[in-house]
Homo-oligomer: A and B are copies of this chain.
Amino acid sequence: MNEQRIPLLDLVESLGRLAAGERRQRAVAAGLQPVHVQALDYLRRCNRYSNTPQALADYLGLTKGTVSQSLQLLERKGLIARRPDDADRRVLRLALTAAGEALAGTAGELAEWPAALAALPADEADAAAATLARLLATMQRRRGGQSFGACHSCRHFRHEGGDAYRCGLTGEPLGADDSRRICREHAWPEAAAAD
């Protein structure tokens, strides 16, 4: 028997801090702050309903004022483009430029983790991931906040056969690519967590 009495939460927080530290290093090496790399990463992974300053603010847990500043900085650096929405002229639509896409790719990658993760037995890693996914879903529902999950795990997600999907909230059709993106309207199903 081994002696790891370390509770699960402590481990998650320690690993999270470690990863955040590495991300921080890579961000400053790229001339950005960690939060800016997070923003770029979000824009790379969010869907078409979620590429606005307000959605980003909700995702990051920051005020819209703070996010507005960061976005201006990112635009000055030529990493994102901001253009008004056609339908609602209050709204800005954010998009990565080619430079932003490239930077998000390089600065978003972690150097040491893939190897360490690959060294874990696959079934063990999968089991741990399943457990953590349940925990995450529980926590997000319990806190009542937005969950920002991928589209395909959403309560409103409908499969219409083949590669055809639809969002039950907006009614719009979705492609296979859309279904893997982060959505600000995401809501976990009622009963089960991540099943």
Contact = CB atoms under 8 A, between A and B. Distances in A.
A138 B152 contact: no
Contacts of A17: 16, 61
Interface string A118-155: 01100011011111111110111011000000101100
Chain A binding surface, main DSSP class: helix
A6 B129 contact: yes
A140 to B, nearest CB: 7
A14 B41 CA distance: 13
Given A119-B138, A142-B112, A19 B16 contact: yes
A1 to B, nearest CB: 9
A3 interface: yes
A49 interface: no
A116 B7 CA distance: 13
Nearest to A129: B8
A129 B15 contact: no
A28 interface: no
A8 B128 contact: yes
Contacts of A125: 8, 131
Contact of A112 (B128, B131, B134, B143): B143
